[in-house]
Structure 1
């Protein structure tokens, strides 16, 4: 097996998106470790906001979503101001990805979106029902939640790499490395 190429020569933002149970957190964490960059997880952010849930619920779903993406965008911007890469693990729309891409470009970085899917419904369901993430303040996701989310989030249309959880984690990670480093080059 070939080793993965080294980290990129310039900062890169890698956004992992997809429904729960498709492997996005696994790939995001692995990519962050490979790049030596932080992984900012939407689920961990939501768990940390849980103490303010009553006040946040008053915002309404759309305003809460804007707050969620704004906080992640702020963390992203801070990394870019430091000249460092970042990995984001969250659900995004094309509009959010485009906004973050503009932010990355303004700071001399590339932004790559990786959409994680699972084409095998039975496998996807077993992955969701069999996992315990243990995120403080955040609930475990069940299959009905995933099905609801599938209907609520629009399909991405922008440029992205699509990974299928049916593939092996090692093969998917090699695809991520090729996709990310193909745009920005790698360090010597």
Structure 2
């Protein structure tokens, strides 16, 4: 073989190796098949409607802060967290803040886990109707009750006397009257 032919063969092999190595990560991408909604609901531990309030990144995955409004399966809290793996593991990606989704997630408590194979998607009327056909109307997720007020004494002394409390108001009224007298005198000139 001539030197030029060997050089061309080496270039072809190098280019082929480069193409194969660059395309290798594509084979590690998500390969799940979207199942029927009934199957996805059976696999899910919690099914609820919730609006994305914030999206955080963890490595290649994401964490979503979600305000749940209606629960169909499981008992999510009003404000809950859902995590999703990176795109190679069928993650949901950076969902849009302010958008309402039907969440089909796994886990017994927050943070739940959801992926693109599980059926989580935008809460359009068709999807909500299909979920309600399978699981019923669901129940509203109520916000937690407000914290109970606790009386805390500032100090053990008696409250201030009336004259001390009324003094700033009396001073303001006196200044206002003096200003009125000055303005009327200037207006007469």
Q: TM-score under structure 2 normalisation? A: 0.22
Larger RCO, structures 1/2 (Cα 8 Å, 6+ apart): 1
Larger Rg: 2
Q: TM-score under structure 1 normalisation? A: 0.22
